[in-house]
Copies of this chain bind each other. A is one copy, B any other.
């Protein structure tokens, strides 16, 4: 528990500090860090899918439709090394591999759903705002 941690209780609090606000080293901000991981092209989609039930590799490959094996592997490996997804290998012939959310991954579903709900509630406003500028 460092002094730094209490200073970044939430991202909002980070920026409620008195001016001049030292925003540099934003890389160390856990919020930005987490968001940048969640927001590559496929991560969110895979997390929500795996939130439903475990999937095997080619199940995911078929379900996502458009993802290449390369990106599927890469994304899953990152999720795994972040402790959000578990990979279980069944030594059958042919081989079978199952991916499922860890408890940590499951705990991410709720805040993600909050953001998702906001998106669903407001994406129409964003769309019309965009058209005004066009």
Q: Which residues of B contact A72 (CB under 8 A)?
A: none
User: A-side binding surface: helix, strand, loop or mixed?
Assistant: helix
| Bound Cα distance A107, B32 (Å) | 19
Tell me the bound Cα distance from A115 to B109 in angstroms. Answer: 10
B109 touches A48 (CB 8 A): no
**Between-chain CB contacts (< 8 Å), 26 pairs:** A5-B120, A9-B120, A11-B48, A11-B113, A12-B51, A12-B52, A12-B109, A15-B52, A24-B66, A26-B45, A31-B116, A32-B45, A33-B123, A34-B119, A34-B126, A35-B38, A36-B39, A80-B133, A81-B132, A82-B126, A82-B130, A83-B132, A104-B125, A107-B122, A111-B117, A112-B115
Which residues of A pack against B, CB within 8 Å? 5, 8-12, 14-16, 19-24, 26, 30-36, 38-39, 44-45, 48-49, 51-52, 62-66, 80-84, 104, 107-120, 122-123, 125-126, 128-130, 132-133
